[in-house]
Amino acid sequence: MKQLNTVLQAILNNPQIQNNPIAMNALQMYRAGDSQGLQKMAENICKERGTTTNEIKNAIMQRFS
Amino acid sequence: MQPYINPAYFMYNNPYIHQNQSVQAALNGRVVPTIDHITVNDIPMDGNIAVFPLQDLSEIVVKNWDATGKITTRHFKEVLEIQPTILPSEDIKIEYGANGELAEVFSKRFDELTAKIDKLEETFSKTRKVKKEIETE
């Protein structure tokens, strides 16, 4: 857990991540354990890209099967 | 004889030119015929904006991904610098006032209309009288 926090901190300190509002929001939500917020963000991104979270999930699962 | 200096070498080693080039490269977007031609992949997900001037330059559309994962769109429309011609009040009086030709035409038309309405009223009153006479008989 301590190692994970160190990695997370390193990511958060990355200037590229700091300048990216989506990545920063996602990491902050992950840190706070806001799974509903992350779900909503994923749904928003999928909606903008004309797809759904289920479709993306299925596509990923097909790659591994 | 002077030594030949390759202009490309000079450009490559000039830090100011590199700086300008990097600024130009940071501007995302392209010229589009209509807003519908903008696709999701045209908008970078790194938080930067993408600028889309319309081909006829009537509008500039700026899009970017916000922190919640939605695309925000801003429209910048042109503002014409030409001021509308404001006529001085005396000129307006001459053009549209009681002495103007336009007022004369309108007053004539109103007179015609009132005459027609009077005629219609007369015919209606006549038909009512006839109806009453028939009913009494």
pLDDT at residue number A39: 95
pLDDT of residue A1 exceeding 90, the answer is: no
Task: Please tell me whether residue A19 adopts helix, strand or coil conformation.
Answer: coil
pLDDT of residue B7 exceeding 60, the answer is: no
pLDDT of residue B60 exceeding 80, the answer is: yes
CA–centroid distance for A47 within its chain: 15
Task: Please tell me whether residue B94 adopts helix, strand or coil conformation.
Answer: helix
Report pTM: 0.56
d(CA B64, nearest CA chain A) in Å: 10
At position B66, the amino acid (one-letter code) is D
**What is the pLDDT averaged over residues A8-20?**
88
Residue A47 pLDDT level (bands cut at 50, 70, 90) = very high
> What six digits make up the tokens of B21?
């080039």
**What is the pLDDT averaged over residues A41-54?**
95
pLDDT at residue number A56: 94
Residue in chain B nearest A38 by alpha carbon: B68
CA atoms within 13 A on the CB side of A43: 6
Mean pLDDT across chain A: 91
Is A56's Cβ below 8 Å from some Cβ in B?
Answer: no
Q: What is the ipTM of this complex?
A: 0.81
Q: What is the pLDDT of residues B61-112, one digit of tens each?
A: 999 999 999 999 999 998 887 766 666 666 655 555 556 677 788 888 889 9
In our burial notation (b when 16+ CB lie closer than 10 A, e otherwise), range B45-84 reads: eebebbbbbbeeeeebbbbbbebebebeeeeeeeeeeeee
Q: What is the pLDDT of residues B8-40, one digit of tens each?
A: 554 555 555 555 555 455 689 999 999 999 999
What residues of chain B, 67 to 86, have a C-beta less than 8 Å from chain A?
Answer: 67-71
Exposed (0-12), middle (13-18) or buried (19+): which is B137, by Cβ within 10 Å? exposed
d(CA B39, nearest CA chain A) in Å: 9
Give the C-alpha separation, B134 to A26, whole Å. Answer: 90
CA angle B50, B44, A20 (to 5 degrees): 110
